[in-house]
Amino acid sequence: MQEDYRILLNFLPVLGPLPTLRVFRKPRLPSESRPDQATACYSFAKGDNRDDRQFYWVKRESADGFTEYAAQPDENNDLTRWALFHALRDSVRRTLNETDYVLDDRGFLDEISLIMRRYQEGQEMLLLQPYLLRQTNQFGFLVDFHFQKKHGVPFSRRIMQLSLSLDRQFRRNLDCYIDRNDRIRTFLRERAAVFSDLRVPGANATVKLSQDPLSLPARRLRSKVYVFANNRDSRSQFTGLRDFGPLQPKAPCYLHSGL
């Protein structure tokens, strides 16, 4: 097996360590409802025991009843992803027009979609989500390509082509993932200004992102084999059965007349 076999991920990691996050927090009372859309809720360790935690309301700006707190990036992974999302959102709002992006921060996942190309049938988009890659313990952003069909436009082969499911000749696109990767890299270059000014709450220095998606070493699975009689194996179902016989013979079946 080759030692240099690698897999390319649609993940842009943060370069270097993240700075300390400055947030404002106050303890959350049991059954207390969320005060407003700008307030989040995260848990913090009460002391050295990181498993003994307490929930707090968290804001990016000072507010009545909230005290300033310096959070380490590894103190709460969800909090750090939240900080990265707001850093990206602020940069997008500073850099682009409102018609050039779609902000979704009310669902299960925080996501920003940058509109890259517009067609009569819809628009090509670059999707961005804050993420922690546990394999390497790196924060960053998932990036992906998506074609959004325009409301009211009927589904067609042209839409499948724009979605990269079909190639230029309207045949099955065997290079779908290559084309997808090319789109993502092109869009990242065109929106480089967005990623050059990311500032998490309370940090003076900007957060630097890798310009290239991360690749990780990978291992390939063995070829599929089939087991036959006497634990003999073969890569072919037909020749294995012919040469070695079934792994377990089928029990005879008797028909009864019921008389």
Name the residue type at position 241.
Answer: L
Residue 240 has pLDDT above 80, yes or no: yes
Q: Which of the four pLDDT bands, split at 50, 70 and 90, describes residue 108?
A: low
The answer, yes or no, to whether residue 121 has pLDDT greater than 70, is: yes
**Res 205: pLDDT:** 78
Tokens found for residue 88? 């990206």
| Residue ranges of domains in the chain, CATH in brackets | 6-16+73-217 (3.30.530), 21-71 (no CATH)
pLDDT single digits (tens) 10-54? 999 999 999 999 999 999 998 888 888 889 999 998 877 777 899
Question: How are strands ordered across the β-sheet holding 122-133?
Answer: 11-13, 138-149, 122-133, 111-118, 101-104
Which one-letter amino acid corresponds to residue 27? P
Beta-carbon count within 10 A of 122 CB: 19
Please report which helix (H) or strand (E) contains residue 188, including its range: helix 176-190
Residue 1 has pLDDT above 50, yes or no: no
Mean pLDDT of all residues in 115-139: 95
> Helix (H, G, I), strand (E, B), or coil: what is residue 86?
helix
Integer Cα distance of 1 and 8 in angstroms: 18
The pTM (predicted TM-score) of the whole model is 0.81
Q: Is the Cα torsion angle 144, 145, 149, 150 positive or negative in sign?
A: positive
Q: What number is the average pLDDT over the span 112-128?
A: 96
